[in-house]
Amino acid sequence: MCGILRFRSLLFGGSARTASAGLRIVVGLALSVLMIQSALSQTRAAPAPSATGLYTSLLLEPPTQNVQASSRVSLGGDRQLEYLGTFCATAKYKRSSKFTRTLEAQGSTSWSTSVLGTDAARQAEAPGWMILPARAVVEDFAPPAHATKIAEPQSNLASIRDEVVTFVYGRARVMEAPHQVTTDSMLRVIISDPDLRAVHVFDPKGKTSFSILGDQGRRLHLPAGVAVDAEDNIYIADSEAGMVLVYNQHGQFVRYLGNFHGENMYERPTGIAIDRKAGRLYLADTPRNLVFILDLHGNVLKRLGRDRHGNGSGDFASPTQIAVSDHGIVVLDAEGSRIQVLDFDGNRISCYRVVVGVDTENGLAVDRDGNIYISYVARSMISMYKPDGTPMGTFGQAGRKIGEFLAPRGLWVDASNRIYVADTANARIQVFAVSTGTTSPTLVRAAAAIRVAANP
């Protein structure tokens, strides 16, 4: 026992930790040694597994909370909703499979898509600085500020120690409460996380994930909406700074939009959308009741709505969300209860009420056919409407299982009709596909694309 205590002291630098934490690390080291010995004992004629493959298998995320699978849901008529997978708060993507759905349907705790609950409690037993994240960090300081922390070299023993601790306790949680979501051409999800003042880029392959951190002294202050252009540049509506920040696909800062000689042009921009074909950006300035049409360099092409003094044309009441499709622009306003459908020049085509008086943070998306999706925060469900406002169906309910949500604040539908739900209070992004008919080629392509992205 004394030997174990001394070993634990060596790993944790002499700090007082629970005996269970030390024992788990010892067990992890023992398992690592056994697996390495087993690999070395194979005959030379047999092909040896690659180091990369072994490393990946050792870093599988541990089980957390039970989530029951709901693989396919009927939305009425011949429309089907298919669950594809989940981006977890650890930046890992967990795709759906027959095996995992069977375990979840049986109530197994072996395949969870949430890191809330027991896993967070287990990670508290180990030093946080030893648990490694599954993404890089972009420290984007505003000039003349700069990073003051000096990177210190780490010994091989310390690196091995941290890998073992991470294996035993799981990857570090890097996402707090996703609010808005979009995707780029590489099927990476771009997520605004205002509670952490960060924007995350999660790669389903796990290779190019990173987070852009914001706060005082950094360019990014408080992210709201996010959008991506045809070149995979990332546009962030910063509701506190009053402008839009542009980063390239690697997280390097490119330019500000709405910064005129050091002064912000917008009061509190929230919703943002980009027409990738036309190269136009649509931005909602919520407290001013305005929607702006800009080019991708920030030049204002048109201003829609009446300001506080009654100037301008159009009628918006605190617009919060904007979505764009091949059929036009959709704006959500009036405390998340009204939909306005506009053409690309901002002329109103139709206007109708949805659920009245629910929440100002309801999410909005539109698919390639012009159908509209709204996530209702208070009801934890998603409703679908035709472009003329005719209800098409709903899915979801309050909960933590697959197909259930807690206060979903953001939505995105990509060109292949994959639906991304920012399941805010569950700290995850759930991914679905909508098809017409059980063997729709669209659904097959959507599921195959994201499966390939997660398993290259």
The predicted-structure confidence for 395-432, as pLDDT tens digits, reads as follows: 999 999 988 999 999 999 999 999 999 999 999 999 99
As a whole-number percent, the residues of the chain with pLDDT over 90 amount to 48
Strand partners, 433: 82, 418
The winner for highest mean pLDDT among 171-180, 202-211, 225-234, 333-342 is 225-234
pLDDT, position 440: 42
Domain containing residue 414: CATH number:
2.120.10.30
Q: Is residue 51 part of a domain?
A: no
pLDDT, position 212: 95
pLDDT, position 262: 76
Q: Is residue 267 part of a domain?
A: yes
Residue 435 has pLDDT above 70, yes or no: yes
Q: Are residues 223 and 110 in the same domain?
A: yes
Q: Are residues 417 and 306 in the same domain?
A: yes
pLDDT, position 149: 47
Task: Collapse the DSSP code of 338 into the 3-class scheme (helix H, G, I; strand E, B; otherwise coil) and give the result.
Answer: strand
Digit-coded pLDDT (tens) for 248-297: 999 999 999 998 877 889 999 999 999 999 999 999 999 999 999 999 99
pLDDT, position 139: 72
Q: Are residues 144 and 249 in the same domain?
A: no
Residue 29 has pLDDT above 80, yes or no: no
Q: Are residues 376 and 234 in the same domain?
A: yes
Q: Which of 139, 172, 205 is the last residue of a domain?
A: 172
Q: Is residue 59 part of a domain?
A: no
Alpha-carbon distance 410 to 269, whole Å? 16
Q: Are residues 30 and 88 in the same domain?
A: no
pTM: 0.75
Q: Which of 42-46, 133-137, 209-213, 394-398 has the lowest mean pLDDT?
A: 42-46
Residue 329 has pLDDT above 80, yes or no: yes
The winner for highest mean pLDDT among 96-105, 118-127, 241-250 is 241-250
Name the DSSP letter for residue 288.
G
Q: Is residue 230 part of a domain?
A: yes
Cα-Cα-Cα-Cα dihedral sign, residues 299, 303, 304, 306: positive
Q: Is residue 52 part of a domain?
A: no
Q: Are residues 208 and 297 in the same domain?
A: yes
Q: Are residues 266 and 133 in the same domain?
A: no
Q: Are residues 154 and 264 in the same domain?
A: no
Contact 404, 429 (CB under 8 A): no
Residue 373 has pLDDT above 90, yes or no: yes
Q: Is residue 48 part of a domain?
A: no
Q: Are residues 273 and 142 in the same domain?
A: no
| More confident site: 452 or 160 | 160
pLDDT, position 172: 74
- Helix H or strand E encompassing 31: helix 19-40
Please tell me the total count of domains within the chain. Answer: 2
Edge-to-edge strands, sheet with 363-366: 363-366, 372-376, 381-385, 391-395
pLDDT band at 37 (very low <50, low <70, confident <90, very high): very low
Alpha-carbon distance 34 to 39, whole Å? 9
Q: Are residues 338 and 400 in the same domain?
A: yes
Digit-coded pLDDT (tens) for 67-108: 333 556 666 667 788 899 999 998 999 988 766 556 555 554
Q: Is residue 140 part of a domain?
A: yes
Q: Are residues 355 and 319 in the same domain?
A: yes
Which one, of 403, 441, 354, 384, lies nearest residue 77 by Cα? 384
Q: Are residues 25 and 107 in the same domain?
A: no
Q: Which domain holds residue 259?
A: 72-115+173-454
Q: Is residue 14 part of a domain?
A: yes
